[in-house]
Amino acid sequence: MKHRALLAVLAAAFVYLPAHAEDGYDLWLRYGQQSSYPPSAEHSRELVHSDASPTLAAVGRELASGLGGLAGAPIPVVREPSRPGALLYGTPRSSALIAGLSLGLERVGPEGYVIRSVTLGGKAATVIAGNTDVGALYGAFHYLRLVQTRALAQNLDIVSRPRTRLRLLNHWDNLDGHVERGYAGQSIWDWHKLPDWLDPRYTDYARACASIGINGSVLTNVNANATSLTPAYLEKAAALAGVLRPYGVRVYLTARFSAPIELGGLKTADPLDPGVRAWWKAKIDEIYRYIPDFGGFLVKANSEGQPGPQDYQRNHADGANMLAEALAPHDGIVMWRAFVYASSATEDRAKQAHAEFLPLEGRFAKNVLVQVKNGPIDFQPREPFSPLFGAMPKTPLMMEFQITKEYLGFATHLAYLAPLFEEALDADTGSARKGSTVARVVTGELDQHELSGMAGVANIGADRNWSGSHFDQANWYAFGRLAWDPDVSSQAIAEEWVRMTFSNDPAFVQPVVEMMMGSREAVVDYMTPLGLAHLMGTGHHYGPAPWVSDLSRPEWNPAYYHRADANGIGFERGPKGSNATGQYSPRVAAAFADPKKTPENLLLWFHHVSWDHKMSSGRTLWDELVTHYDRGVGKVRQMRLTWEAQSGRVDAGRFAQVSAFLAIQEKEAQWWRDACIAYFQSISKRPLPVGSAPPAHSLDYYKSLKFPYAPGRG
């Protein structure tokens, strides 16, 4: 009796009550009452509780609070099923009942799960089971998602396992709280107060990550600070690891290559020096004493001024392998970034990663992944896929996407990035092997790599809504969903997210999903249409600055990328130019090398094209360019109308902020359009197509605008 009373109290405590007015804090984990739930006697009449581990205790809390909230009444929490409609969760080890069922768990690996309608002792029940506790946790979030989106079928038979092993957020967070390229406030990691104060927000972060299958977090910026490897900071990282661990999120750190000099007082950081190797081994052993399940290191080396093995005439493999050797006994891994471009190189920047890494194929240790940005340059609104994908079959290549929108208008522009991620993942690398998409390279399926991964540069900060804008939460969500399964469509993910985050009302879902789906292309149109890239303001990347051509390194200048002149515009990367196209597999290279076969949305990435070149629309390139800029602004106008029509279907707080941000986006889209047209017209000397309005201001006006305090600076 006493026991029962306790469980009732526990259940009541788990009923979901939003702690505050809608400010976006709850992300997609909203458990407000759903009239359609529970759908039938078969579902969720009681929750069979297990707290056999901290992870299963977390599953229990999430299901009790989630289902209680969704049903509008506490769900009874019991130790044994007592009536039809019980919901069980766990593993064959945690539950004799689960062990007694044949669920086919051998198909789901260490992190997957099964959600199945079963009969137990003649009574209908639902089982959420994994081989591990964390598998059950992922299954529980899937179950909640089904309820939240009204997709819970009467008879459940769901089997899911992640396609990539490492699904990681990369935080570009500095120890002083500044987030490089962060537009959502300061870092959520309060290093100063750690390890003594564990902000409850860390748990909510872990819940959000787990709900979409993210299983690792690189806490620190790739522009690394060796201080993060000192005992005081390892203790802080260990405290965070303790909060994240029950949710299956492992902690990783960035390693500053010169740490042996800066922390160890050595004279060198040469990776082949025995003293340096011994220093790293001791440091890594020390890290594991603090964090026994430490995931490993992410390293940016010899890139944008970061130290690295090339400082000692060694190569990237020498550097990565040294760390890998010391991490291997602990099952740790190294993610070595391929984002490199040298100040001294005269080579096309788009070619440099491939040129530096291809010769190292086959030379990396087994526990090294090379982490490659989706495109050859740097997270532009549109890039072709990096030619490294498909070119290094012996090396696990990890995908690096940017969730934070450094080049897509920061947090105030609504740009749903899943179509961008999807475009990269679906790209055919053209290798002779069948089904050689970028996705299958990244999952390791193409080349049978056990180690595989996807990283997303986080857009998370201390703002109440986490991401700086309500719609940017969708990009965090979509990244996780695609890292779990790169074949889920961006449209399906948008729909799920909208339903969970805002509303299941079809009158809301359909237009808002449509608005999201077109939003990235709108940004491409008003910023960098037809394959243009890197036209953003110097340093902060805020706003247009295509005219900049006086910075010390050529590839820091927008003019380097667009190469507009009296004849035309675009970077010739075919065989007559830099021959970057030659880095792709022969089939893809043949298409990209020929302007007639190059997709028009990448035309100016690969070719310098005459202003009068005839496009498929029948327009000249110049007219087409202007038409795209106009279209981009028009799309944002339409997005505003779509959103305004939703008034009353969303809470006032979130509605107002989205409205205000869309107004900013329209203003800035117009600015982008006007400034770019004013500048390019000064070079093309062509009239605007009929019906296209002249820019609001002179070119000099746009050039005079300065933004010394734009957020997120490096």
Cβ–Cβ < 8 Å for 80, 98: no
Contact status: 180 vs ligand GCV (CB under 6 A): yes
Contact status: 555 vs ligand GCV (CB under 6 A): no
Cβ–Cβ < 8 Å for 453, 410: no
Contact status: 181 vs ligand GCV (CB under 6 A): yes
Q: CA 603, CA 654: separation in Å to the nearest integer?
A: 39
Number of residues located near ligand GCV, criterion CB under 6 A: 11
Contact status: 165 vs ligand GCV (CB under 6 A): no
Q: CA 252, CA 559: separation in Å to the nearest integer?
A: 38
19-48 residues near ligand GCV, rule: CB under 6 A? none
Q: CA 21, CA 623: separation in Å to the nearest integer?
A: 48
Task: Write the interaction track for ligand GCV spanning residues 326-365; mark x where CB under 6 A is met and - where it is not.
Answer: -------------x--------------------------
Least distance from C-beta 337 to ligand GCV, angstroms? 7
Rg (CA), the chain: 26
Task: Write the interaction track for ligand GCV spanning residues 290-329; mark x where CB under 6 A is met and - where it is not.
Answer: ----------x---x-------------------------
Of residues 305 and 618, the one with the C-beta less far from ligand GCV: 305
Q: Is 549 helix (H, G, I), strand (E, B) or coil?
A: coil
Nearest residue to 170 via CA among 498, 564, 454, 511: 454
Of residues 223 and 659, the one with the C-beta less far from ligand GCV: 223
Task: Write the interaction track for ligand GCV spanning residues 398-417; mark x where CB under 6 A is met and - where it is not.
Answer: --------x-----------
Least distance from C-beta 300 to ligand GCV, angstroms? 5
Least distance from C-beta 689 to ligand GCV, angstroms? 34
| Bridge pairing between strands 568-569 and 609-610 | antiparallel
Q: CA 531, CA 546: separation in Å to the nearest integer?
A: 14
Of residues 499 and 541, the one with the C-beta less far from ligand GCV: 541
Q: CA 414, CA 472: separation in Å to the nearest integer?
A: 7
Q: Which residues contact 9 (CB under 8 A, 6 or more apart)?
A: none
Residues labelled as active-site residues:
304, 378, 406
Of residues 223 and 503, the one with the C-beta less far from ligand GCV: 223
Neighbours of 491 (CB within 10 A): 15
Of residues 364 and 401, the one with the C-beta less far from ligand GCV: 401
Q: Which residues contact 200 (CB under 8 A, 6 or more apart)?
A: none
Contact pick of 117, 186, 223, 642 for ligand GCV (by CB under 6 A): 223
Q: Which stretches does DSSP call E strand in 338-487?
A: 368-373, 397-402, 453-457
Q: Supply angle C-alpha 425, 431, 436, rounded to 5.
A: 35
Contact status: 714 vs ligand GCV (CB under 6 A): yes
Of residues 339 and 655, the one with the C-beta less far from ligand GCV: 339
Contact pick of 59, 210, 222, 253 for ligand GCV (by CB under 6 A): 222
Of residues 48 and 168, the one with the C-beta less far from ligand GCV: 168
Nearest residue to 361 via CA among 352, 370, 351: 370
Of residues 179 and 212, the one with the C-beta less far from ligand GCV: 179
Of residues 89 and 339, the one with the C-beta less far from ligand GCV: 339
Of residues 198 and 710, the one with the C-beta less far from ligand GCV: 710
Of residues 203 and 227, the one with the C-beta less far from ligand GCV: 227
Question: SS3 string of 351-391?
Answer: HHHHHHHHHHCCCCCCCEEEEEECCCCCCCCCCCCCCCCCC
Least distance from C-beta 704 to ligand GCV, angstroms? 24
Of residues 406 and 630, the one with the C-beta less far from ligand GCV: 406
Question: SS3 string of 138-176?
Answer: HHHHHHHHHHHCCCCCCCCEEEECCCCCEEEEECCECCC
Task: Write the interaction track for ligand GCV spanning residues 413-452; mark x where CB under 6 A is met and - where it is not.
Answer: ----------------------------------------
Q: Which residues contact 319 (CB under 8 A, 6 or more apart)?
A: 257, 271, 299, 301, 308, 309, 336
| Bridge pairing between strands 86-90 and 123-130 | parallel
Neighbours of 183 (CB within 10 A): 23
Contact status: 256 vs ligand GCV (CB under 6 A): no
62-121 residues near ligand GCV, rule: CB under 6 A? none
Tell me whether the omega of the peptide bond preceding residue 38 falls within 30 degrees of 0, making it cis: yes
Nearest residue to 370 via CA among 394, 391, 398, 345: 398
Task: Write the interaction track for ligand GCV spanning residues 369-398; mark x where CB under 6 A is met and - where it is not.
Answer: ---------x--------------------
Least distance from C-beta 211 to ligand GCV, angstroms? 27
Q: CA 632, CA 414: separation in Å to the nearest integer?
A: 13
Least distance from C-beta 335 to ligand GCV, angstroms? 13
Q: Is 264 helix (H, G, I), strand (E, B) or coil?
A: coil
Least distance from C-beta 708 to ligand GCV, angstroms? 17
Q: If you count them, how many residues does the chain have? A: 714
Neighbours of 41 (CB within 10 A): 11
Cβ–Cβ < 8 Å for 419, 374: no
Q: Which helix (H) or strand (E) holds 86?
A: strand 86-90
Report the residue number whose CB is nearest to ligand GCV. Answer: 714
Q: CA 280, CA 516: separation in Å to the nearest integer?
A: 46
Neighbours of 329 (CB within 10 A): 11
Tokens linked to 198 = 């564990």
Tell me whether the omega of the peptide bond preceding residue 195 falls within 30 degrees of 0, making it cis: yes
State how far the alpha carbon of 308 is from the alpha carbons of 214, 253, 316, 400, in Å: 29, 16, 8, 20
Residues that bind ligand GCV (CB under 6 A): 172, 180-181, 222-223, 300, 304, 339, 378, 406, 714
